[in-house]
Structure 1
Amino acid sequence: MELALLLGSFIGGLIIGIPVAITLAVSSVLYLLYMDIPLVVMPQKMYAGIDSFVLLCIPGFILAGNLMNNGGITERIIRFANAGVGWLRGGLGLTNIAASMLFGGVSGTAVADAASIGGMMIPGMKRAGYPGDFSAAVTAASSTVGPIIPPSVPMIIVGSLSGISVGKMFIAGAIPGLLLGGGMMITCYILSVRRNYPRQPWQGWGELARSFGTAAWAMAMTGLIVGGLLSGWVTPTETAIIASFYAFFVGAFIYRELPIAKVPSIVIDSAISSAAILALVGFANVFGWILVSERIPQFITESVMSITDNKILVILLINLILLFVGMFMETIAALIILFVPLLQLATSVGIDPLHFATFAVLNLMLGLTTPPVGVCLFVCGSIARLPLAPLVKAIMPFLLTNLITLFLVSYIPALSMWLPSVLMP
């Protein structure tokens, strides 16, 4: 009965549109009251959930991304991407994807990518003759690359939950991120050729060199982050702090588009965003503790193992579970609730924790572009001023491409394991 109350109130809250963090909190409180457990457990478990040094990465990377975004990074990245691929058929769509891949190395979040890139690219693509649904679909689909290419907020969450090295996870996401972006660029080009979408004239090697020169400072942040982690001189948290100072320096003194007077408001906005994420982490930790006390992880493992212990089929079942959950639940909440139980299942059949973590994060990123709770779809739809239905239809080719990438990463461990083994043995 108590489990039905917990899950029923949680699912009911999601159905009627209550924010995930509040739904987690309400469901947990109802369970504690029903079981006559002192409510003091709530703040204790919330504090335990966020009392992790590695979670300090989140405010640092969010602040770094906001400083760079307000300092002119988005325009320069789009200019460089446009100079490189804009001359191909469907060039603005390819530019959109390429810009998301480059921007992903700064923001670490898909929603920030969709809002920043989409705010410029969707109106521009529509003016150039691209259909609005295609423009929004390309933007939403490509925004999922951001949390795969380092830095990545979901990977930081996973590291805090499991003890897996955040640095290794960042490196493990590099090749899958490139595969994801490359697959979407191929899909975009094929659709553009078939539908005869416009192309832009070649702007010349001079423009390519100039645009690279202006965007190099922004793209160097990814090199700074990865280089710091590989050197072993700094922790991920210290890397995030260094990235924030670097972002401030570049925006204020190199690009000169970041007014000093605006920095306090950027810090406040970043603090609010970080607080929202950490509150979600805290509430989800209470919910997860309840699930563990009810032996749900063991139940999931035993149920799947009673069906099959074949590694290939277990990977398929894990992906199907995460894809289904990702359609209805916010990524971070899903990770906190499901990652540890599914990690236990994965390791029981011989899946490496780092490999599992990589394809689990990639899987849940796809949920940001699937209805009914596809946050990036809603963001891009609001920018394009379109309802959800045409966007869902337009994004299907990209979603299919991303699913193919997901299963390649799931069944070929070397795609996520090789680079960390070479760079961080």
Structure 2
Amino acid sequence: MVSLILFGVFFLLLFLNIPIGLSLGISSVAALLYEKLPLSMIPSNLYSSTGKFVLLAIPFFILGGNVMEKSGISSRLINFCRTLVGHKKSGMAMVCVIVSCFFAAISGSGPATVAALGMIIIPAMTRVGYDKASSAALMSTAGAIGIIIPPSITFVIYGSITGKSVGALFASGILPGLLMGFSLILAMQFVSRDRPLELLPKASWPERWKNFKEAFWGLMMPVIILGGIYGGIFTPTEAAAVSAVYGLIVGLFIYRTLRWKDLLPLLRDSVSQTAVVMFIVGTASLFAWVLTVTGIAASASNALVEICGGNKYIFLLIVNVILLIAGCFIDANSAMYIIVPILYPVATALGIDGVHLGCIMVMNLAIGLVTPPVGVNLYVGCGISNINLKQISKAVLPFVGASILALLLTTYIPFFAMGIPSLLG
């Protein structure tokens, strides 16, 4: 009965369009009242879940991403990639995906990647002959790579729940993110196979060098972050702080696109975004705690073991189905707290590496960013391309299919997720 109350109230509130953070908190309180558990546990639970050192990376990564976004790095990255591949067939589609991978390593956010790049890339793609809906759909799906390519806030949250190394989780997302990007380029080539596309003139080497120099400081940000983590210079949390300081230096003193008077609004936006994320982290962890203390998580884990019969391949298939459905309704950070307590113990018992499971979960939830009705990236793509949700939802289907293919390869060929972490030790 408690599970019916917990999930029933949660989905009812979601249906009534109540923000997900409030839905998680209210449904948790309802379950606690039904079980007659002390509400005095709520403050300590909220504090313990949000007071973790590893979560301090979240506000710093958000600030660093916002700084680099407002420093004009997006246009510089686009111009540099355009000079490299813009003259090729499907060149602008390649530019869209390649720049998304670069920017993902700066912002760590799917919607931020779509918003920062889409205003420039979508019109550029339509000018050379791509359909507007397909262009917006590709941009929205490529933007989802933002939570796979490190640094990723979603990986930080998974690491805080499971205790897995955030550095190893970051490394696990590199190859799957690139694989997903490659699959999107192939899908766009298939979708646009009959369209007459205009080829851009091939850039000269001096022009490429000029654009490389302009984009250099933005390209260095992921190098500094990941190089520092894997070189043992600083922890992921310290890397986040370094990224924020580096972004400020680049924006204020190198690109000079940021002014001192811009800092207060920038900090205000970053604080607001951090507050939203941390509120969801707090209420989602409370929801997860209720799942645990009421025995729902253990019962669900046991049921999963019985269904898959100890076969890890069937279990991984069930994981993908559950997460793809969950991604249609709830955001990635909330899904982590709700689903990890159920799936992680089963995966461990079946011999599945927790880093591999984390990568699979993040890929699934990245796809959830472009699946209706709560595909956040789709709404951002609609807003910047002036098309409706129905048009973009239809156009995104080939890219969702390509992303699922990349997901299945990562799921059943562990090398894609575990190759680089194993290499780094």
**TM-score class normalised by the smaller sequence:** over 0.9
Task: Structure 2 unaligned segments of length 5 or more: list them.
Answer: none
Task: Name 2:394's counterpart in structure 1.
Answer: 393
Question: 1:177: how far off?
Answer: 0.9
1:140, distance to aligned residue in structure 2 (A) = 0.6
The SS at the match of 1:194 is coil
Could you tell me how far 1:4 is from its partner in structure 2?
Answer: 1.4
| CA deviation map 1:287-319 (0-9, x unaligned) | 111111122222222112212211111111111
Moved more, 204-213 or 237-246: 204-213
Paired residues for 1:116-195 under 5 Å: 116-195=116-195
Q: How does 1:7-22 map to 2 (within 5 A)?
A: 7-22=7-22
Q: Does 2:105 match 1:105? A: yes
| Conserved 8 A contact 1:89-1:192 | no
> Given residue 51 of structure 2, which amino acid in structure 1 is its aligned partner?
D
Is 1:263 matched with 2:263?
yes
Counterpart amino acid of 1:334? A
Once residues 129 and 419 of structure 2 are traced to their aligned partners in structure 1, the CA distance between those partners, rounded to angstroms, is 42
Residues 12-411 of structure 1 mapped to structure 2, 5 A cutoff: 12-307=12-307, 308-411=309-412
Q: Gaps spanning 5+ residues in structure 1: where? A: none
Give the Å deviation of 1:128.
Answer: 4.3
Equivalent residues of 2:130, 2:195 under 8 A apart: no
Paired with 1:263 and 1:96, the residues of 2 have a C-alpha distance of 29
**After TM superposition, where is structure 1 displaced by more than 6 Å over at least 4 residues in a row?**
none
CA offset digits 1:102-135 (Å, max 9, x no partner): 1011000111111111122223333444322111
Equivalent residues of 2:126, 2:135 under 8 A apart: yes
Structure 1-normalised TM-score? 0.97
Secondary structure of the structure 1 residue equivalent to 2:111: helix
Instruction: Using the TM superposition, name which of 83-92 and 216-225 deviates more.
Output: 83-92
For residues 41-77 of structure 1, the C-alpha deviation after alignment (integer angstroms, 9 at most, x for no partner) is 2222111111110000000111011111111111101
Task: State the distance in 2 between where 1:210 and 1:190 align.
Answer: 33
| Change in 2 beyond 3 A, CA 1:102/1:176 | same
SS in 2 for 1:193: coil
Which deviates the most, 327-336 or 85-94? 85-94
Rounded Cα–Cα distance in structure 1 between residues aligned with 2:205 and 2:13: 55
- Over the aligned positions, Cα root-mean-square deviation in angstroms equals 1.4
Deviates more, 1:60-69 or 1:195-204: 195-204
2-side partners of 1:213 and 1:144: how far apart? 27
Distance 2:340 2:80 in 1: 37
- Per the alignment, do residues 357 and 99 of structure 1 end up closer, same or farther by CA in structure 2, a change over 3 Å counting? same
**Which residue identity lines up with residue 141 of structure 2 in the other structure?**
A
Q: Following TM superposition, by how much is the alpha carbon of 1:89 offset from its aligned partner in structure 2, in angstroms?
A: 2.6
1:199: how far off? 2.6
> Contact between 2:130 and 2:192, CA under 8 Å: does it hold in 1?
no
Shift in Å, 1:422: 1.3
Q: Deviations over 1:274-295 (max 9, x none)?
A: 1110110000011111111122
Normalized against structure 2, the TM-score is what? 0.97
Partner of 2:415: 414
Q: Secondary structure at the match of 2:192?
A: helix
